[in-house]
Amino acid sequence: MDNHVHPDIEAILLSQEDIREIVSRLGKAISQDYADKNPLIVTVLRGAFVFTADLLRAITVPCSVDFMAVSSYGDGVKSSGVVRIVKDLDTKIEGRHIIIAEDILDSGITLSYLVGLFKARNPKSVEIAAFAVKDIPGKKPSIEPRYVGTHVPNEFIVGYGLDYAERYRNLPYVGVLKPEVYS
């Protein structure tokens, strides 16, 4: 475990070792399922870029990657529910197998929107690989990922690409942010 815990972090949820194990397991599962399918891994920027880089290295079959930027949060803590495409895909996805790599799934609003958008472009398939699914009491996400790395509690978490106001993405672990930082 990393001995240098950032002072704004209340607790470490996932160590670097935990993250490696999660990504390795997801990479193996995707490699088995997509052996001869050359999937396109779609990264939702910015949060998922760290996860996607590791996931690509864990996938042992041919695949390619493209990037999409959407906005649904701003600098706030809660999702606005409004999804805006900031950068669309450069790759034509018709007839392709698509795997959306997502850092954390909470409400699923953004992912539901993207899946609908992609399906309208006639891919062979659209699946989701979520590094983490946030367990929110009494609420289920509006979409079920095919690949789930882990479940995390309903806390404000940062690190491993996850941010608060563009900070903490570079932490090598996933930690719970102290409430006084964002309140």
Which one is catalytic: 54, 88, 103, 106? 106
Residue 180 DSSP SS3? helix
**Cα→Cα distances 32→64, 76, 116, 141, Å:** 16, 39, 26, 26
Contact 72, 109 (CB under 8 A): yes
Sheet architecture: strand order including 84-87: 84-87, 64-71, 40-45, 97-105, 125-135, 147-153
Q: Is 75 a catalytic residue?
A: no
Catalytic residues: 106
